[in-house]
Structure 1
Amino acid sequence: MDWLGIGVFILSLAFAGLVIILIPVMKKLAATLDNTASTVETVNKSIGDVTGEATVLLYNTNETLVDVNGKISKLNPLFDILHDTGESAHHLTSTLARYTAGKAERGHAASEFVDRKNLEGILRGAAFIYYLREFKKEYDKK
């Protein structure tokens, strides 16, 4: 045997030893990759469940917002009535203040007292009180 054959033989023995040493490592690597694959599969299922729950949560939130917006839109006329009643009260008090300011201004203040804008606010205030009484009657019946 020549030196080349001996070198190839030694290299083949080293390679065989390396393969024998690496077999358990490769088995553990394969087991780790299997565990990783099952973990990724579990995570995918969990993400699907969380996504479904988030979708339900968003749907319920949207339904709640629609309900709140509907109730607020029902309250808007009441706030308009309260605003008009406040303006009417302001006009009434300012008219009364001008009325008592002097004898010369009394005729002008009396004509403003009868003005449609002032009476409209008072009528809306009366309608608001009527609405509250009717609501209370219905509430008491329940």
Structure 2
Amino acid sequence: MDWLGIGVFILSLGFAGLVIILIPVMKNLALTLGNVAGTVETANKSVGEITGEVTVILHNTNETLVDVHGKMQKVNPIFDIIHDTGTAAHNFTSTFANYTGAKTERADEGISLLDKKNLEGLLRGAAFIYYMKELKKEKEAKAE
């Protein structure tokens, strides 16, 4: 044999050894790919089941939202009434504040009078009510 034949023979022995070594690796790879295929099939079934459940949940959620929307439409007039009541109360209190703002000086005079006399408790409250009545009488006298 010549050198070329010996080289080919050595290469063929090396290739045969490589094939023998790779046979268990290929078997393990085939088992792993089989397991992966089973896992993917199980995942597909699970996704199908989950999709069905999610569809039911979304349907129930839509029904709930429609129900809540209907109930909110029934409650909206109540909120409108509350808003109108709040606006009316605001208008009343602002008018009252404007009216009493003009009388602040007179009320301050009454408070200073009570402080000068050093009245306390019920006596102070009674004196304040009396002073307010006197102011009302004075106002009525000016109006006539």
For residues 16-40 of structure 1, give each alpha carbon's deviation from its aligned partner in whole angstroms, at most 9, with x where no partner exists: 1111111111011111111111111
Question: How much has 1:89 moved relative to structure 2?
Answer: 5.6
Q: Which residue of 2 aligns with 1:20?
A: 20
Q: Distance in 1 between matches of 2:87 and 2:21?
A: 95
Scaled by the length of structure 1, the TM-score of the pair is: 0.58
Alignment coverage as a number of residue pairs: 101
Which residue of the partner structure matches residue 41 of structure 1? 41
| Amino acid across the alignment from 1:19 | V
Aligned-partner SS, 2:10: helix
Find the structure with the greater CA-based Rg: 2
The letter of the residue matching 2:47 is I
Which residue identity does 1:76 align to in structure 2? N
**Which amino acid counterpart does residue 65 of structure 1 have in structure 2?**
L
Higher RCO by CA contacts (8 Å cutoff, separation 6 or greater): 1
Could you say if the C-alpha distance between residues 2 and 85 of structure 1 is closer, same or farther in structure 2, counting changes exceeding 3 Å? closer
| Offset, 1:86 | 4.7
CA root-mean-square deviation: 2.7
The corresponding residue for 2:62 is 62
Task: Look up the match of 1:2.
Answer: 2
Partner of 2:133: none
Deviation of the 1:4 alpha carbon: 1.0
1:80 Cα deviation (Å)?
2.6
Distance 1:20 1:92 in 2: 101
Percent identity over paired residues? 69
Mean Cα displacement is larger for which, 62-71 or 72-81?
A: 72-81
Rate the CA distance shift 1:7–1:71 in 2: closer, same or farther, 3 A.
Answer: same
CA deviation after TM superposition for structure 1 residue 83, in Å: 3.6
Corresponding residue of 1:75: 75
CA-CA distance at 1:85 after TM superposition: 4.3
Instruction: Tell me which amino acid in the other structure corresponds to 2:66.
Output: V
